[in-house]
Amino acid sequence: MESSKVIVHPLYPLTIEEIQVAVAVIKSQRSYSPFSRFISVALKEPDKSVVKKKVNYSDIHRHAFVVLFNNETNSCFEIIVNIDLKTVVSWKHIPGVQPTMSTDEQIECEQAVLNSPEFIQAILEYGIENPALVMVDIWSAGFYGSEEEKSMRLARPLCFLRSDSTDNGYSKPIEGLRPVVDLNTMKVIRVENYGYTPIQPNDGNYSMERLTEFRSDIKPLEISQPQGPSFTVAGNSVEWQKWSFIIGFNPREGLTLHDINYLDNREKRSILYRASLSEMVVPYGDPAETQKRKNAFDTGEYGMGTCANSLELGCDCLGLIKYFDANFTDSRGNIVTVKNAICMHEEDYGILWKHTDRRIGKPEVRRSRRLVVSSFSTVENYEYGFFWYFYQDGNIQFEIKLTGILSLGSLLPDIKPKYGNFVAPGLYAPNHQHFFSVRLDFDLDGEDNSVYEVNVLPENEGTNEFKNAFFAQSTLRKTEIQAQSNVNIASSRYWKIVNHSRKNAIGEPVAYKFLPGDNCLPFASKESFWRQRAGFVDNHVWVTPFNAAEYFAAGDYPNQSKGGEGIDKWTQEDRNIEDTDIVFWYTMGHTHIPRPEDYPVMPTAYIGFLLKPLGFFNQNPANDVPSSKHENTAKTNSPCCH
C-alpha cells in the first residue's frame, strides 16, 4: 500500500527525499557495485501525452533516471527507478560509452596528478619545487583514434602554477607538460613533455583582496519594490503578468523551462513545452602540441547543472529576488545542494511603446518590464550565464553570457603567435569558438506545428518602377533535411513556427518568429576529430519530429565518443515535420580572437536569440499595460507618462 505523498507537478525536479530514495533503491540491488559512481540522478519526465491530459497528478508516478558508471569494469548503466513504489523499472548496460565526468573525479584527478612521482619529477625538472602551488584542471580527453581512448576513461589535464595559495594560477601555465590520467584507477599513466617554455612572471590578479586601487566615483544604484514583486511562485510553478511556466533543473542541462503559456483574453495559450540547452562545444584553433586536443563538450562532458554556481544578491542578481535551489548527488550518491542555483527577478527594460499625438499634445508612454530567470555555471576557467527573459508583449529571449578566464598558454618571447594573441608579456590565448545547441520543443496552440524559412528578397519582376520593392518569401519545410539551414544576413533570414489549424483575426495561421542573434560558422574542417563528434554545428537550424529519446544534439554520451551520434544521425531519416509535434534546434556560435582587454578576466560577451509573436495575437498584447506612476518635474502642462 502506497503511503500518502505530497502531490507535485510531474515536471518538477526531484526533491532531496526523492533523490535519496532513488539512490537507496539502487544501492540495495545485487547489480550495484561499490566501484560505481552516480554520474547523475534526475527526473525522468513522464510522457507528454500523460502530462497534457491534466489528470490527477497523484496518479502519475514519479521516476528517476540514473546514470551509473562502474570504474572496475569501465561500464555505463542507465537505470529507471519508480520513486513511489521504490522499485527498479529497468537496469540497462550501455556498452562502449563514457558518461559525464563527475565533480568528484575533477577533484580526485587533480590529487592523482599532484601525487604522481612521474609528475613530481617532471615539474622539478621544470624548475617547480613546491607541488602544492600547482593547479590542475581536468580536461576531457576527446577522441583521436587511439586504442586507449576506445577502452579507457581518460582525462588530459592542463596545469598551472600559483605563486601563493590565492594567486591567479591561470596566468602561469606550465606549457610543456600534459599529464594523462586513467580516471578508473585515478593514476597518471604518463606525462607528455613537449619541451620547456618559461613560466611568465605575470600575476594577473583580479580579486578584491589582491587589488589596491579601485574607482571612487561609483554611487549606489538601488532597486526597490516596496509592494513586492509582480510574480507569484508555488513550488516550481511561476506566474508573472500573463505568463506561466515551470522551472526545472537537472545535473546535465542545468536550468530548463517547461509548459510555457501566455494568457490571452482569458485563454491560456501554449507556446513551448520544453526549452533547454542541449549541448555545447568549445573548439580551440591552435595546432601546437599542448593545444591541439583542446575541445570541451561542456554539457555532455562536465554537466552544466553540476557546475552551477550559488548566486549572491547584489552580485549576480539585483532587485527583489526569488531563488531556487538545485539538488543532485556527488558520485557516491550523497546529496549535493547548490543554494540559490537559479535566480528570478524583474527588470525595467526601457520603453515598451510610446506615441505622441501632436494634435492632442499628450504623449502615451509605457515602460517595459521583463522577468529574468537565470543561472551561472563555472567549467574550470570559463563561466557561462544562461538567461531567459519574458516580456509583456509576448517576446521570449534567450541569452548566454560568456565570461571567466581564458585558457592561456606560454610562448618564448621571440615567438609571435599565429593562432592566438598575446594578452600579457609571454602569455597568449589561442583562438577558439563556442557553439551552443538549444532545444525548443514547441507546442504552439497545440502540437501540430510547422516551420517556414523566411527570406526577404528584392523585387526583380513585375511592377517596380522605382526599384524599391522587396518582400518576405516564406517556404514551408516539410522534412528534416529540407529544414537544415543557416543564418543569412543577405536575406534577413528568419524562421516562423506556425499552427495551420488556428487562424488569427486576419485569417492567417498563428505563428511565432524565430530571430537569430550574432552567430558564426566553424572554421575547423569537417574532417577534424571534434567536428565528427559535434555534427550539430553543421547547421544553425535543425527541425525534428518530437522523439522522447532525442534530447542531446551530440548524442547521449559525447565524452570520448567517436562521433556520428546525435542530430546529424537522427535527421538522416528525413522524417516528416509538417503539422506535427516538432522540436526546433538552434546552434549559435561565438568566435573569440583574444585581446589584451580579455585578461585577466574576460568582460562578458553575449549571444542569443529572440522568439517574437507573428500573428499569434490579434493586436499588440501589451496595449493593456498601465502607465507608470511618475512624479512630473518637467516644466510642461502634460505629464510625460500618461
Q: Secondary structure of 175-242 in the HEC alphabet?
A: CCEEEEEECCCCEEEEEEECCCCCCCCCCCCCCCCCCCCCCCCCCCCCCCCCCCCCEEEECCEEEECC
Q: Which pLDDT score is estimated for 5? A: 54
Asked if the model's pLDDT at residue 368 lies above 80, the reply is: yes
Asked if the model's pLDDT at residue 642 lies above 50, the reply is: no
For 315, counting Cβ atoms within 10 Å of its Cβ (0-12 exposed, 13-18 middle, 19+ buried), the class is exposed
Q: Which pLDDT score is estimated for 211? A: 86
Pairwise pLDDT comparison (633 vs 20), residue with the higher score: 20
Name which of 315, 446, 337, 443 is nearest 383 in CA terms.
315
- The CATH code of the domain at 231-613 is 2.70.98.20
Q: Is 32 a catalytic residue?
A: no
Q: What residues does each domain of the chain span?
A: 16-94, 103-193, 231-613
The separation between the first and the last C-alpha atoms of the chain, rounded to the nearest angstrom, is: 62
CA 466 to chain centre: 47
Q: How far apart are CA 115 and CA 107, in angstroms?
A: 13
Mean of per-residue pLDDT scores for the chain: 94
Asked if the model's pLDDT at residue 488 lies above 60, the reply is: yes
Catalytic position from the list 259, 298, 556, 581: 298
Q: Which pLDDT score is estimated for 629? A: 61
Asked if the model's pLDDT at residue 352 lies above 60, the reply is: yes
pLDDT in tens, 394-446: 999 999 999 999 999 999 878 889 999 999 999 999 999 999 999 999 999 99
Name which of 567, 568, 564, 484 is nearest 532 in CA terms.
564
Q: Is 284 a catalytic residue?
A: no
Q: Which pLDDT score is estimated for 200? A: 84
Q: How far apart are CA 582 and CA 444, in angstroms?
A: 10
Using CA of residue 110, residue 101, residue 289, residue 587, what is the dihedral sign? negative
Q: Which pLDDT score is estimated for 123? A: 97
Q: Which pLDDT score is estimated for 640? A: 42
Res. 497 pLDDT band, cuts 50 70 90? very high
Catalytic position from the list 262, 382, 389, 428: 382
Q: Which pLDDT score is estimated for 446? A: 97
- The CATH code of the domain at 103-193 is 3.10.450.40
Q: Which pLDDT score is estimated for 202? A: 84
pLDDT in tens, 578-613: 999 999 999 999 999 999 999 999 999 999 999 999
Same fold, 16-94 and 103-193: yes
Fold for 16-94, please state it: Nuclear Transport Factor 2; Chain: A, (3.10.450)
Asked if the model's pLDDT at residue 252 lies above 60, the reply is: yes
> Model pTM?
0.96
